Structures are given as C-alpha cells and as structure tokens.
Amino acid sequence: MSRYTSANIVLIFGLIIVAIGSLLYGRANMSVMDVINALFGGASEPVTIIVRELRLPRVILGIVIGAAMGVSGAALQGVLRNPLADPGVVGVSASAALGAVIAIHLGLVAIWPLSISIFAMAGALAATAILFIISARDSSVLMLILVGIGISSLAMAAISLVMNMADNPMSIRDMIMWMLGSLENRTVTDLLLAVPFIIIGWLMMINIGQGLNALSVGEDTAQTMGIDIKSLKLRVVVGSAISVGAAVAVCGSIGFVGLVVPHMVRALITNEPGRILIPSALLGGLLLTLADVVTRMPILSTDLRLGVVTSLIGAPAFLYIIYKTRRTMR
C-alpha cells in the first residue's frame, strides 16, 4: 500500500472519530448508545432532537465546509502557483460577509430567519459572477489576484460603511458575532442551503489534477501537453468561489483553513498539486470539525467562536509559511 493511500485511510478514520466525538460532546454529554438510539430510533424525544436536529447537521456542515475550504485552497494554490493563495484571495468570503451584514442591518432576521444565509449567498454569487466575467476575458494569474483583492477591498469598505450607519448596538454586535464564524444552532435547513452549491463547486473542479500537475512546470509546458489553461483557471476560480461562498453563507467568516491545510498535506503526504486535493478535503473537514469541538469546551466564561479558533491556529502557521517561502517570494 502506497504512502498516499495509507495517509488517506488514516485521515478518513480520523475524520470518523472526530465526527463521533462531536456527536457525543456538548452541553449535554451523551454516550455512544444514546447517539446510536437517537439516529436509528429508540431514544427519548429530547435526545433524538438534540442529535438529529442540532448535532448531526452541525457535524455534517463542519465536514463539508472544511472539505470545501481545504480543496479550494489546494486548487487555488495550484492554479495560481502561489503558496499564499486561499479562498479569501478571490474576494468571495468578504462579499458573502457583506450580504450577511446588510441583512442584519435591515433587521430581516426577525421576519425571515434564513435571510442572513440568503443575502450572504447573493453576495457570494455576485462576486462569483464578476470573477466569471473577468476570467472569461483575461485568465492571467495577476489579473485574477488583482480582481480578488479589489472585490475584497470594496466589500470590506462596504461592511465598514454599513456598520458605521447602524445605530442599534445589538445589530453591530450581531454583525461582529456572525463575522467571527460559528456552526452553533445550524439546522438541516442550513445544510440543504449550502450543500447543493458546494457540490456544484466540486463538480466544476472534477479531473483538474492532471492540469494542476502540468501547470506546476509552467504554462507553456502545460499547453504542449494539451491542457486548456484558460478553462482550467476558470473552473478552479469559479468552482472555488461557489463552494466557499455557500460555506461562508451558513457559517460566517472562517479563515486560514484553505491556506494552511494544503501546506500540511504537502509536508506530510505529497507535493504533487493534483494529488493533494483529496487529502486536503479530508484534512480540512477533520480540522474544522475538531475546531468546532474546541469551541464547546468551557475554556472561557463564554463560548469561543469558530473563526477565532481557526485564526489562533492558522495565524502562526501563516507566519511560518511566509518564513519558509521568503526566498521564493523575493
């Protein structure tokens, strides 16, 4: 058995163990039998509601969203040939946050609980449409990065404007708390909203491994191998934007997962851009689910937010990555 296969098997088992732990741990700790009875019948109604309607959607969302961020980060780093690229570089995360902030400012949550997710999704799709139009005309790496920076800067400026206009302190607090990211109180409805778009994004990136491997030795070489560079970049950028936008729409802003996970896979498993996609998805789901478990631990007087935990882990890793790649960035 190859090292690559063994590593993927280990990641799958690790993901299963963390997922089971996430189902067991919370304000109301449960045994394995409690969870099994709740999933397949036989448990009391309160236990069934907690497991099926609260914890199970939360676990599935953590796995799927972490996988989306991990594979998107790996694909973007490969296609942009930039080790510091992550899903946030295309501007979709900031645009989704802008949509959510607008929904909170308008007070739509009291009228329609899903308004934040819908507005966030609309912001993400708007950014995706801009990227699609630009990518169709000019798919150069520099142009994609510049457009992503421009979208992010504009979205963050608009977020600051909306927060500046808000005269209700509770609205400002809700905006800040949403932007910190969380999987708490997410339901099957949130799952059904995000997963179809995440799957669409993944489908757009099917069979990009060979193209990423060829692109790693240069665009000219990749073209001589029959790789359609323009189509490859378009699929990766738009596919990543759709899947990450859907993820941000239901869980808020969560940083560093898409940046750090591909580097961990390269260090532990393989350097091939096309082969790190699957392990990046598995490790992303594992880490985000584990981080969600950490948010429930009684570390502080209040619950930690998911985005805070990932940032505390990712920021030092980000600095280490910059230190290790400083020579190649000159």
Name the token pair of 129.
Answer: 């449409």
51 class by beta-carbon count within 10 Å (0-12 exposed, 13-18 middle, 19+ buried): buried
pLDDT band at 62, cuts 50/70/90? very high
Look at residue 287 in the predicted model and tell me its pLDDT: 93
Residue from 303, 301, 318, 210 nearest 261 by CA: 318
pTM: 0.88
Helices and strands: H and E segment counts in the chain: 15, 0
User: Which residues lie closer than 8 Å to 73 by C-beta, 6 or more apart?
Assistant: 85, 86, 87, 257, 258, 259, 261, 262, 280, 284
Look at residue 141 in the predicted model and tell me its pLDDT: 67
Look at residue 67 in the predicted model and tell me its pLDDT: 95
Least confident window among 62-66, 69-73, 300-304: 300-304
Whether the pLDDT of residue 63 is over 90: the answer is yes
Instruction: Average the pLDDT over 262-286 and give the result.
Output: 91
Q: Which one is predicted more confidently, 192 or 44? A: 192
Structural domains present in the chain: 3-324 (1.10.3470.10)
Q: Is 210 helix (H, G, I), strand (E, B) or coil?
A: helix
User: Each residue of 119-132: pLDDT tens digit?
Assistant: 888 888 888 888 77
Name the token pair of 84.
Answer: 């510091």
Q: Which one is predicted more confidently, 215 or 298? A: 215
Instruction: Average the pLDDT over 97-103 and give the result.
Output: 90
Look at residue 329 in the predicted model and tell me its pLDDT: 47
User: Each residue of 206-257: pLDDT tens digit?
Assistant: 889 889 998 888 888 888 888 888 888 888 888 888 888 888 888 888 888 9
Look at residue 300 in the predicted model and tell me its pLDDT: 65
CA 104 to chain centre: 22
Q: How far apart are CA 195 and CA 193, in angstroms?
A: 6
**Beta-carbon count within 10 A of 191 CB:** 17
Percent of the chain with pLDDT over 70: 95
Name the token pair of 47.
Answer: 């236990």
